[in-house]
Amino acid sequence: MQIYLPIAEQSMNVFLVLGMGGVVGFLSGMFGVGGGFLMTPLLIFTGIPPAVAVATEANQIVASSVSGSIAQWRRKNVDVKMGLVLLAGGVVGSFIGVALVKVLRQMGQVDLVISLSYVFFLGFIGTLMLLESVRTYYKSKSGNAPPARRPGQHNWIHKLPFKMRFKRSKLYISAIPPILVGLLVGLLAAIMGVGGGFIMVPAMIYLLRMPTSVVVGTSLFQIVFVTALVTVLHSVQNQTVDVVLALMLMAGGVIGAQIGAIAGQKLKGEQLRALLALMVLGMCFKLGFDLVIEPSELYSLAPALEAH
């Protein structure tokens, strides 16, 4: 059964779209990862124009992150002040990112930049995940405890100006690092169609040294607002949000995530995590390979966009 996508202007098999939403939802429910960095490349592989894939995926992430962020809010796991500072950076990053996508579209380089960003980040995440699962595997064999972190350690971040007090996180630090983290995440959301949790969560833990109890809630809080803003900005600037595609991905993703969450409690995670890492590296390799091998058609066509 085919469905016509009004913005992508092509028809796609309904079950393929629902299935993709389901599989990515399953993986994200199981491992607690956001689905964006898996879904956007998959959409590109199925022939959706990269700019449409990115903007549409940002729309889907709004749906997949809102329920989690409300649950975290109820459990008071959101540092609102930190979230707002991150969001301030995120707003700036989103505006820059969407404007950049528009310029790159006019230059005909948007596909290249999206692919290159994915090759870089998928390679990075995949390698980290693989190393982590290998390390955990050996640790569980040898029974060694992980090295304890030293709390209260001061680093260069404490020398920066514009210090603010974040009560919920028990931190007194400069606003500059969270703003910069938020900015980077906003940029990635606009250019790659990801929530950016994979950058934000480690940055909050290791760079800002936030307590782990508020990390997930605060990042989800920021992700909902940034992806919502990116959706609106892409709609206005690029007209690349395909709401029909997004709704179908949401439908598949919601069901997949529920099944994944149940499966995650029952199955042994580490081998599967290694498998996910290999999948991520596989996609990284495929995107990279497509950039390096000589394409069968050197020419490409696009409607001429006037530079405004």
Partner 1 sequence: MIRALALSLLLLLTGAALAPPTPAARAEGVEADLATHHVAVKTDFAGVNVLLFGAIVNQGDIDNLALLDMIIVVRGPEREMRVRKKERIAGLWVNRESATFDSVPGYYATLSTRPVSEIAPSYTLLQNGIGFTSLQGKLILSSTGFTQGNAKDYAAAVVRVHQSQNLYQELKGAIDFTGQHLFRAEFELPANVPLGDYTADVYTFRGGKLIGNYTTNLKIEKSGVERFIYELAHQQPLIYGIISVILALAAGMGAAALFRKA
Residue numbers at the binding site for partner 1 (CB under 8 A): 1-4, 6-7, 9-11, 59-60, 62-67, 70-71, 108-109, 112, 116, 228, 231-236, 239, 241, 243-244, 246-247, 250-251, 254, 258, 291-295, 297-305
CB 64 → partner 1: shortest distance, Å? 6
Is-contact 307 106, C-beta < 8 A? yes
| Shortest distance, position 44 Cβ to partner 1, whole Å | 16
**Smaller CB distance to partner 1: residue 216 or 246?**
246
Neighbours of 18 (CB within 10 A): 18
Q: For the beta carbon of residue 143, count every other beta carbon within 10 angstroms.
A: 6
Tell me whether residue 161 or residue 306 sits nearer to partner 1 (CB atom): 306
Q: Is the CB of residue 194 less than 8 Å from the CB of residue 175?
A: no
Nearest-approach distance from CB 226 to partner 1, in angstroms: 12
Cβ-based nearer residue to partner 1, 1 or 145: 1
Total residue count of the chain as it appears in this document:
308
* Smallest distance from partner 1 to CB 216, Å: 16
From the CB of 242, what's the least distance to partner 1, in Å? 9
8 Å CB contact between 193 and 58? yes
Q: Output 71 or 131, the one with its CB closest to partner 1.
A: 71
CB closer to partner 1, 68 vs 93: 68
User: 295 by DSSP, 3-state: which?
Assistant: coil
| Angle at which helices 243-266 and 50-74 cross, to 10° | 50
- DSSP class of residue 205? I
Taking the alpha carbons at both ends of the chain, their separation in whole angstroms is 40
